[in-house]
Structure 1
Amino acid sequence: MTPTPAPTTRSSSMGRGLDVLAALTNCLREGRKATVVEIARSLGRERSQVSRTLASYEASGLVVRGADRSFALAWGWYAAAQDIVATRVITQGLVVLEELSSLLGEATFFSALQGDATLTTLESLPSGSRMIGSWIGRAYPAYCSDAGRASLWDASAEEVRAVFSSTAFSRQGPNTPTSVDDFLSRLDEDRRRGFTIVDQEAEPGLYSVAAPVWDFRDEVIGAIQVVGTRDSMHPRTAECGAACADAAAELSRHLGGRDTTGISV
């Protein structure tokens, strides 16, 4: 009789090793020292077993041991992960934008914060779009941009004030924010809603929604936007906002980021 192969489970040596890395990461994320004792306790494992696994990872350059005998991920993990994120923003981001544009029949973009402006790096225009030219490489003042507010989604009030410390809030459209306090008030409303709404803040007649994109560090790295005329989008705000937030959550999943949407329209 041919022996039945043992199933591949988390109890395999590889699975146990990955569990140790996951426990180490959780310790760091929660502000606890990732010592052998702490990791073994969190996994319900023998300390000698966890110690051997960490020693192997240390020898391979995957983790580093501090003077206090606690462990941390080596910087190589972060560099590799950031390279993957940059690639996936382009490859997966374009797929997400095209699906969103096809669904809503509106122009979609991915933009990121650059100083006190937002820079568009990806776009998808629906068939029949009357938009002239490309927005890629085009910068917008962040204080009147949907992506500006979405990109600062996880920033504190002090961080937002630092971003705009030298910015003049000049009028771009009928509803441009007039100050940092005005910007923060609108951002608070966006957070409660689950996506940003920019109604003729950047240009007269321009209407848009946006939602933040998170990466594996639990940080916002940019925003997905849906942009069109006010006449076209305003009656569909809830539909466009929910679809935009879902698209941003999907791209975030591809980047190892959080998978949350909190829509309240």
Structure 2
Amino acid sequence: MSGHRPSKIQTFEDLCAEIALIRRRGYAVVDEEFELGVVGVSAPVYDFKQRIVAAFNVSAPKQRFGRHLEKAGALAAKVAMDFSAALGAPVAPLGTPAGQLFVAQPSMPDGGAVRGL
């Protein structure tokens, strides 16, 4: 198949909402936005300096993979978190949702926050 489906992100507010959703769940989803019939999930990999140095991505035909995006996304976030830990990234504090790292946010009033992978 060729072509792609129009993005669901049409406004700045849509973009902000999508980024917030990605941070909450710890992974991003692509549903035919790049190519018809193809879906995927991805999650960032952090190094010991808390920089994104890679991404873990899984994509497949929608007919085989489309119904499993949530499960695959959660697994991708877990794998990315494991890679991050192997690279020395900080371990998530107890009680942090799976697929998230503790990343200092000096620009925030409280000095820190949990940011999704």
TM-score of the two chains, using structure 2 as the length reference: 0.66
More strand by share: 2
1:208 corresponds in structure 2 to: 40
Q: What is the CA–CA distance in structure 1 between the aligned matches of 2:11 and 2:55, rounded to whole Å?
A: 22
Give the counterpart letter for 1:208 in structure 2.
G
Give the counterpart letter for 1:249 in structure 2.
M
1:187 corresponds in structure 2 to: 19
Give the counterpart letter for 2:4 in structure 1.
G
Q: What is the CA–CA distance in structure 2 between the aligned matches of 1:246 and 1:259, rounded to whole Å?
A: 12
Give the counterpart letter for 1:216 in structure 2.
F
Match of 2:4 among 173, 185, 188: 173
Q: Where does structure 1 lack aligned partners over 5 or more consecutive residues?
A: 1-171
TM-score of the two chains, using structure 1 as the length reference: 0.32
Displaced runs of 4+ in structure 1, greater than 6 A? none
Q: What is the CA–CA distance in structure 1 between the aligned matches of 2:70 and 2:46, rounded to whole Å?
A: 22
Deviations for 1:165-221, whole angstroms, at most 9, x for unmatched residues?
xxxxxxx62142335543332121111122111111111111000111111111222
1:120-131 aligned at under 5 Å gives the runs: none
Distance apart, 1:237 and its partner CA: 1.6
Q: What is the CA–CA distance in structure 2 between the aligned matches of 1:212 and 1:251, rounded to whole Å?
A: 9
Superposition RMSD in Å: 1.9
1:240 corresponds in structure 2 to: 72
Distance apart, 1:258 and its partner CA: 3.0
Quick one: percent identity of the two aligned structures?
Answer: 27
Report 1 or 2 for greater relative contact order, CA contacts < 8 Å, sequence distance ≥ 6: 2
Give the counterpart letter for 1:246 in structure 2.
K
1:98 corresponds in structure 2 to: none
Distance apart, 1:253 and its partner CA: 1.3
More helix by share: 1
1:143-162 aligned at under 5 Å gives the runs: none
Larger Cα Rg: Structure 1 or Structure 2?
1
